Amino acid sequence: MSTVIESIEVLVGQNVRRDISRLAAFAQGNLEKAAKSIADHPSPRIGIVCGFFVRHAEPPSPETDGLNGMGQLAAGFVEAGIPVTVITDAPCAKAAWAVTDVLPGKVALEIVSVDPGSVRRLRDHLETSDQSLTHIISIERCSFGSDGKPHREHGWDISNDTAPLDYLFKDSGWTAPWTTIGIGDGGNEIGMGVLPQSLVESDIPNGKLIAATTPADFLIVSGVSNWGAYGLLGAVAHLRPDLAPALLKHFNGTMEHSILDAAVNIGQAIDDSRVDRLGQLQMTIDRLPLENHVAIIDEIVSLISVKD
């Protein structure tokens, strides 16, 4: 195992809002496996699923977490010549579009309505396209829970606001033709379905209800979901030093600010974890100011400069 990638995995997997240490331990090693599946592919084409809508926000909006991870991954992959398709649903469309609009390269954007048929039609399109995807990465995207419905961490049913993009990862009688990667921080995100339900039930509030049931080939557990995406980009860059300059060209505080500014001030994304300013626009992610997230990016870049 790469000691650099192992260090990145520890960095992004640190506790932030809750103790995820046992979840992260279960998923240990998956960051490198996920990165290798991209780095070793002769012609990767990446789909990125994001958007976690919060109806009670003012105005109703998606969370900031997940959007910066999408933006940083997309910026790096596109710069390296790897095609990217961003996938979200109508409630999160404005924020996802705002982020893709400030990226340095062209990114395809697919938007579905919240009904299952819309997701399955998109899936059929992605499967039959001449340039079909090789990987789909989900970042901070709510999964079906134990009752077959998506739930916020409080246990609230959000199925009326959330397209079942789970069907791009798993569906009855259907097998995903692409490699799937799930990134999350709370036990209720797509990909967390590979965790033992008992682990989520014991370590996560409302875990019995909200525990994800949608799996992924590789699960990345991080303290903030965006950080898992940053770790994945850094791990791919470490494994592909020939592509590293392109992958990391925009992986810095300037791009991080541009993405968050677009998400918040154009896309109206909110930090729903801020109990003091619930549902209000603010340049924070999971209660942490921008500089904390930039520090994670800088540390990943520093780690990559170290030889195994």
Q: Give me the pLDDT at residue 204, please.
A: 93
How many whole angstroms separate alpha carbon 74 and alpha carbon 137? 11
How many whole angstroms separate alpha carbon 277 and alpha carbon 67? 20
Per-residue pLDDT reduced to its tens digit, 77-89: 999 999 999 999 9
Per-residue pLDDT reduced to its tens digit, 262-277: 999 999 999 876 544 5
The DSSP bridge pattern shows strands 53-54 and 61-62 to be: antiparallel
Q: Are the CB atoms for 231 and 31 separated by under 8 Å?
A: yes
**Domains, the chain, with CATH or none:** 3-304 (3.90.1640.20)
Per-residue pLDDT reduced to its tens digit, 29-78: 999 999 999 999 999 999 999 999 998 877 789 999 999 999 999 999 99
Q: Are the CB atoms for 48 and 100 separated by under 8 Å?
A: no
Residue ranges of the chain whose pLDDT lies below 70? 273-280, 307-308
Residue that the structure tokens 């990862």 belong to: 169
Backbone angles phi, psi at 102, to 5 degrees: -100, 5
Q: Give me the pLDDT at residue 276, please.
A: 44
| Closest to 101 measured CA to CA, from 137, 76, 74 | 74
- pLDDT > 90 in the chain, percent: 88
Q: Give me the pLDDT at residue 273, please.
A: 61
Q: Using alpha carbons only, what angle is made at residue 199 by residues 197 and 204, rounded to the nearest 5 degrees?
A: 95
